[in-house]
Amino acid sequence: MSLTLSDARIVTPEGVHEGWLTIEDGRITHVGRGSAPRAGHSLGGRHVVPGFVDIHNHGGAGGSFPTGEQDKAREAVALHLRHGTTTMVASLVTDTPENLASAAASLAELCEDGLLAGIHFEGPYISKARCGAHNPSLLREPTPAEFAGLLKAGRGHVRMLTIATELPGALDTIRTAAAEGVIVALGHSDADYDQTLEGIEAGGTVATHLYNAMPPLGHRAPGPIAALLEDERVTVELINDGVHVHSAMLRLAFDVAGPSRTMLITDAMAATGMGDGTYVLGSMQVDVADGVARLVEGGSIAGSTLTMDVAFRRAVQEVGLSLPEAVQVTSLTPARVLGLDSKVGSIAAGKVADLVVLSDSLEVDGVMQRGAWTTTEP
């Protein structure tokens, strides 16, 4: 079955143009300029952007990936899909190796079903001094052997590991993980500039939520932020919810790293799409007030209630990115980091028809996944 979407403002990394596209068997087959060769479904001049790719997400709609509960995970995926996320990685937080292995084994089934694009272990190999909302009593020193066990539990679906590079055993574990094809993210770390460079040399290629849970930039102690921003091998995650990072600092990172090395993430937790109240993140109690999640004990920010559509809108309206830059940092760049950019991440012939239709004010009017509308037809 073939579908033509016409009268669209198509946003690609190269620019925005008025045109049309055709979709067949879940894939984009043509992208054209001007009026469509045959009448199609008119989008009334609205913007079409590629489906969002969220590489760091703990849940939503009351469900939390760290529990490994499949029904709850499905609800979380559905919530984020309504907000335009068509590809997402499920992030687990620090727990015992046994609990992490069982959550990974359970979520691996959802990866096999095509609901998730992989699993991310955000702990337990992180710094006590920078553990944020992770349970400090469950942090561990990494060993390649222990990590290999976690990897095995995920049956090939563990795509990412966050690790503090300064921990004993970290560099060996980074080398092992990278050799296994796992994306190594440096973060939740108290490392200095030189230690961070060692982590990058060993195979680190992503910065876990740059700025958050790491030492700040200092003019005599540049710390991890400067190392991660300036190294061309590293792509930085940023939480663009207006709470975790000031827009000026987001601009600063973007100006250094550019659209091909910057990706927006949600770091969303269970309360996303729900009201304020008490929730859990892993083994920690979290209070959500005015949409801001904080640990009951100590008050650390504990993930966000962000969705990718809001991150996209803020990037344009608050941070000042152009639409072509915004589609790169919410779709193409994270897709490239995941090794999925030949399939998703932009609107181009041959790619999967994962699309988001946006109103003039950049609100979601429709979401298409693999060629099928998942919301009401826009």
| Size of site (CB under 5 A) for Zn ion | 2
User: Which H helix or E strand runs over 254?
Assistant: helix 247-257
Listed in order, strand segments (DSSP E) in 230-303 are 235-239, 262-265, 277-281, 284-289, 292-295
Which residue is nearest to Zn ion, using beta carbons? Answer: 267
Per DSSP, what are the bridge partners of residue 12? 15
Stretch that binds Zn ion, among 28-36, 256-264, 267-275, 314-322 (CB under 5 A): 267-275
Nearer to Zn ion, 86 or 212 (CB): 212
Nearer to Zn ion, 8 or 284 (CB): 284
Site string for Zn ion, 319-338 (x = CB under 5 A): --------------------
Nearer to Zn ion, 128 or 152 (CB): 128
Least distance from C-beta 88 to Zn ion, angstroms? 13
Least distance from C-beta 302 to Zn ion, angstroms? 9
DSSP count for the chain of H helices, then E strands: 10, 21
Query: Restricting to residues 80-109, which ones interact with Zn ion according to CB under 5 A?
Result: none
Determine, following the binding rule CB under 5 A, whether residue 237 of this chain makes contact with Zn ion. no
Stretch that binds Zn ion, among 28-36, 135-143, 238-246, 265-273 (CB under 5 A): 265-273
Stretch that binds Zn ion, among 21-29, 262-270, 279-287, 308-316 (CB under 5 A): 262-270
Q: Which of 54, 190, 241, 267 is catalytic?
A: 267
Radius of gyration from C-alpha coordinates of the chain: 20
In the 8-state DSSP scheme, what is residue 365?
E
d(CA 343, CA 134) in angstroms, rounded, equals 34
Per DSSP, what are the bridge partners of residue 4? 22
Query: Restricting to residues 142-201, which ones interact with Zn ion according to CB under 5 A?
Result: none
Least distance from C-beta 315 to Zn ion, angstroms? 19
Is 33 in contact with 19 (CB distance < 8 Å)?
Answer: yes
Cis, bond preceding 124 (omega within 30 deg of 0): yes
Listed in order, strand segments (DSSP E) in 125-203 are 158-163, 183-186
Length of the chain (residues): 378
Stretch that binds Zn ion, among 98-106, 120-128, 239-247, 304-312 (CB under 5 A): 120-128
Per DSSP, what are the bridge partners of residue 367? 356
Determine, following the binding rule CB under 5 A, whether residue 267 of this chain makes contact with Zn ion. yes
Whether residue 267 lies in the annotated active site = yes
Q: Is 303 exposed, middle or buried (0-12, 13-18, 19+ CB in 10 A)?
A: buried
Residues designated catalytic = 267
Binding site for Zn ion (CB under 5 A): 122, 267
